[in-house]
């Protein structure tokens, strides 16, 4: 591969590449809300058209939910599968956006130009870095690089209900030598990062039932069991004073970070003060005795994501509600087993219920274990060198606080390792109002994939 010519082509083609990304960003492919189903299909169609024009054999694969996109280019070298997702998170609260979420634009900021819009970073901007690298390669060499399968999902932001059956049904087709996933961020701006471990995820929701019906707080206030009071006590019991999860058995399968890796993490350019300040904090509030990075990458959590009940309208209402509700997610690490963690959390809740209270669980919520990659594979070193060349800074093997279950399923269902390389930054506001992707991330992301493919796709 004539890598210099490809890089030059990428630089020259950047404005057109941004235009193509903008087109995709204008499609409101929110997967969780059925109101946007047609737009999810439209995004999938757009990608098929794009891939076909690049010379892939691309097609829509229907599922009971949103369609998958699968594309193939046969060529020499190891069979690489590239994964991304075309669906995006909902945009609420809309009033906090500085522009319409699906009317993307380039905005100048103190840190350089950014592409503002829902999905710009997660994951449309990221997945387009790979396609644009393929395009530049083809423009220069007349053919696509290597031996590639492209696999795009449209349900990543809504729990991937169709993913496991799809992987099982298309196991032969999708089992490649290595997966490349572009859906992660750099440890700090300008520091190229390859994820070596990702936390898993477990979701729970429960209702604490108290009185048979809502009660008058004059007639029953005092004698009544108040579910809001009881659920507050229950939630307070989930953690001890050191920020450690106080659920018995919760830490089974959690391993301490090896000293050598810990040392690498200490020198990976992570700006703790800025990370905390971005969220409006001055200190880390996680488990005592662990660094902020360890709390984010290598320690499990039990978080309350929602808590509600009783009267929430205007004015007051003298009610003792019949029930109270809570949504929980746990981030899992190491060898934690989601089923065991679920059982432990439920045992904890049942054991802390007062007399006359009972609890019901939403049984439809999913979970996935952590994904720990085989970073000893030679492709990791090759990619590390390619990324170091592009960013002029040694690339690091990092952990990831987020959950990308696909990496785990590639391993468990397809027997395939995954290399997660992404160019997002922590201030991209993914899932939040005003999501953005730095133009630099997009541009150097395209160049990075060209360099990575140059080293491993042959």
Residues in contact with Zn ion by CB under 5 A are 122-123, 183
By C-beta, is 84 or 321 nearer to Zn ion? 84
**Nearest-approach distance from CB 118 to Zn ion, in angstroms:** 12
By C-beta, is 81 or 344 nearer to Zn ion? 81
Map tokens 């320690």 to a residue. Answer: 299
**Nearest-approach distance from CB 428 to Zn ion, in angstroms:** 11
In terms of phi and psi (left: phi > 0; alpha: psi -120 to 50; beta: otherwise), the region of 7 is alpha
In the chain, % helix, strand, coil (3-state, to 5) comes to: 35, 25, 40
Q: Which residues pair with 371 in a beta bridge?
A: 198
By C-beta, is 184 or 291 nearer to Zn ion? 184
By C-beta, is 65 or 286 nearer to Zn ion? 65
The separation between CA 269 and the C-alpha centre of its own chain, rounded to angstroms, equals: 22
From the list 310, 312, 304, the residue with the least C-alpha distance to 323 is: 310
Any idea what DSSP says for residue 72?
Answer: E
Reduced to 3 states (helix: H, G, I; strand: E, B; else coil), residue 369 is: coil
**Nearest-approach distance from CB 203 to Zn ion, in angstroms:** 17
**Nearest-approach distance from CB 123 to Zn ion, in angstroms:** 4
Any idea what DSSP says for residue 20?
Answer: H
By C-beta, is 124 or 447 nearer to Zn ion? 124
**Nearest-approach distance from CB 85 to Zn ion, in angstroms:** 6
**CA–CA separation, 248 vs 335, rounded Å?**
16
**Nearest-approach distance from CB 156 to Zn ion, in angstroms:** 6
By C-beta, is 122 or 389 nearer to Zn ion? 122
User: Which tokens sit at 296?
Assistant: 């984010």
**CA–CA separation, 42 vs 45, rounded Å?**
5
**Nearest-approach distance from CB 65 to Zn ion, in angstroms:** 16
**CA–CA separation, 48 vs 50, rounded Å?**
5
> What are the Cα distances from residue 103, in Å, to 20, 95, 441?
14, 15, 20
Reduced to 3 states (helix: H, G, I; strand: E, B; else coil), residue 51 is: helix
**Nearest-approach distance from CB 9 to Zn ion, in angstroms:** 28
**Nearest-approach distance from CB 122 to Zn ion, in angstroms:** 4
**Nearest-approach distance from CB 351 to Zn ion, in angstroms:** 36
By C-beta, is 127 or 332 nearer to Zn ion? 127
Pairs from 131-135 (Cβ < 8 Å, separation ≥ 24) = 131/50, 131/51, 131/54, 132/10, 132/13, 132/17, 132/20, 132/446, 133/6, 133/10, 133/446, 133/447, 133/448, 133/449, 133/450, 133/453, 134/54, 134/449, 134/453, 135/13, 135/17, 135/54
By C-beta, is 203 or 455 nearer to Zn ion? 203
Say what angle helices 439-456 and 3-25 make with each other, to 10 degrees.
130
By C-beta, is 183 or 379 nearer to Zn ion? 183
By C-beta, is 324 or 404 nearer to Zn ion? 404
Any idea what DSSP says for residue 111?
Answer: T
From the list 171, 143, 173, 2, the residue with the least C-alpha distance to 79 is: 173
From the list 388, 386, 446, 441, the residue with the least C-alpha distance to 8 is: 446
**Nearest-approach distance from CB 120 to Zn ion, in angstroms:** 12
By C-beta, is 87 or 230 nearer to Zn ion? 87
Reduced to 3 states (helix: H, G, I; strand: E, B; else coil), residue 430 is: coil
> What are the Cα distances from residue 210, in Å, to 9, 238, 316?
66, 20, 21
Please, are residues 20 and 9 in contact by the beta-carbon 8 Å criterion?
no
């Amino acid at each position: 591969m004539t890598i210099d010519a490809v890089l030059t082509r990428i630089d020259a083609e950047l404005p057109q590449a941004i235009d193509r990304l903008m087109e995709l960003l204008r499609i409101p492919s929110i997967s969780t809300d059925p109101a946007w189903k047609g737009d999810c299909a439209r995004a999938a169609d757009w990608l098929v058209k794009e891939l076909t024009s690049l010379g892939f054999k691309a097609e829509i694969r229907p599922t009971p939910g949103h369609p998958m996109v699968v594309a193939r280019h046969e060529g020499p070298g190891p069979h690489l599968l590239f994964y991304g997702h075309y669906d995006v998170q909902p945009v609420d609260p809309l009033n906090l956006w500085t522009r319409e979420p699906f009317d993307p634009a380039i905005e100048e900021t103190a840190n350089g130009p950014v592409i503002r819009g829902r999905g710009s970073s997660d994951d449309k901007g990221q997945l387009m870095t790979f396609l644009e690298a393929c395009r530049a390669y083809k423009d220069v060499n007349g053919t696509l690089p290597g031996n590639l399968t492209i696999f795009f999902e449209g349900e990543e932001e809504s729990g991937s209900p169709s993913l496991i059956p799809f992987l099982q049904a298309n196991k032969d087709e999708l089992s490649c030598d290595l997966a490349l996933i572009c859906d992660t961020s750099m440890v700090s701006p300008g520091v190229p990062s390859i994820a070596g471990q990702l936390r898993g995820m477990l979701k729970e929701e429960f209702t604490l039932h108290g009185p048979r019906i809502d009660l008058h707080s004059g007639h029953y206030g005092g004698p009544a069991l108040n579910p809001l009071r009881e659920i507050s006590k229950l939630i307070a019991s989930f953690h001890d004073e050191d920020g450690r999860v106080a659920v018995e058995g919760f830490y089974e399968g959690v391993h301490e970070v090896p000293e050598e890796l810990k040392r690498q993490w200490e020198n990976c350019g992570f700006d703790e003060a800025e990370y905390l300040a971005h969220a409006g904090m001055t200190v880390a509030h996680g488990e005592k005795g662990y660094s902020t990075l360890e709390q984010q990458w290598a320690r499990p959590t039990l978080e309350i994501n929602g808590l509600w009940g009783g009267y929430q309208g205007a004015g007051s209402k003298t009610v003792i509600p019949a029930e109270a509700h809570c949504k929980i997610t746990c981030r899992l690490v190491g060898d934690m087993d989601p089923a065991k963690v679920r059982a432990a959390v439920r045992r904890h809740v049942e054991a802390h219920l007062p007399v006359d209270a009972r609890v019901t669980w939403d049984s439809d919520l999913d979970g996935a274990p952590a994904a720990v990659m085989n970073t000893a594979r030679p492709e990791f070193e090759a990619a590390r060198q390619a990324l170091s060349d592009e960013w002029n800074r040694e690339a690091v093997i990092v952990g990831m606080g987020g959950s990308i279950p696909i990496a785990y399923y590639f391993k468990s269902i397809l027997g395939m390792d995954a290399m997660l390389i992404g160019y997002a930054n922590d201030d991209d506001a993914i899932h939040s109002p005003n999501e953005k992707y730095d133009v630099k991330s997009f541009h150097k992301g395209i160049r990075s994939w060209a360099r990575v493919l140059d080293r491993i796709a042959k």
